[in-house]
Structure 1
Amino acid sequence: MTVNDLHRREPGHVSIVIEGADEATVLAMAYQLAACHNVTGPSAVWRTPGTDGVRVHVRGHLEDPALDL
């Protein structure tokens, strides 16, 4: 199991793609999430040909996956 698929195999782990109009916006949101939640910093910014905007990826997990949210 790699870190790339951990969120699909382990309860409490997530993978989040942040999409926005520009790099500054998606990076700011990723860093804000990382500052106040158990989330990694952002991946490299990427663009998908034929679509608008940019994207970054973050990973995170719940402090207690047994929490009933």
Structure 2
Amino acid sequence: MQIDEKHIAEPGLVVMDVTAADEETARVVMNGLQQWWATSGVTPVWRVPGEEGVRSRVYLDIRRPGRPGPPDF
């Protein structure tokens, strides 16, 4: 999957690919990230045929804080 340049066009913007053993783990991680920073939220999870685990992509803006307090990992 290609990364669109607009998603990393300036400092503080991040594209993060999440790989996890299962969908629940991937969702927990994405939820935790959105508690720290502004993100695209919990995004769809997919499987790549022939590869272990599940994947997802989340977009972050680390210049904008999320909810106060530690993430709920």
| TM-score past 0.5 threshold | yes
Shorter-chain TM band: 0.7 to 0.9
Residue in structure 2 matched with residue 35 of structure 1 by the alignment = 35
Note the residue ranges of structure 1 that are not aligned, 5 or more in a row: 65-69
Alpha-carbon deviation of 1:32? Answer: 0.9
**Structure 1 consecutive aligned stretches of length 4 or more whose deviation exceeds 4 Å:** none
Residue in structure 1 matched with residue 62 of structure 2 by the alignment = 62
SS in 1 for 2:38: coil
RMSD of aligned C-alpha atoms? 2.0
Q: How many residues align?
A: 62
Is the 2:37–2:63 contact (alpha carbons within 8 Å) kept by the matching residues of 1? no
- Percent of counterpart pairs with the same letter? 33
Query: Bigger shift: 37-46 or 48-57?
Result: 37-46
Note the residue ranges of structure 2 that are not aligned, 5 or more in a row: 65-73
Give the strand-richer structure, 1 or 2. 2
SS in 1 for 2:34: helix
Q: TM-score normalised to the size of structure 2? A: 0.71
Alpha-carbon deviation of 1:37? Answer: 1.8
Q: TM-score normalised to the size of structure 1? A: 0.74
Distance 2:28 2:35 in 1: 10
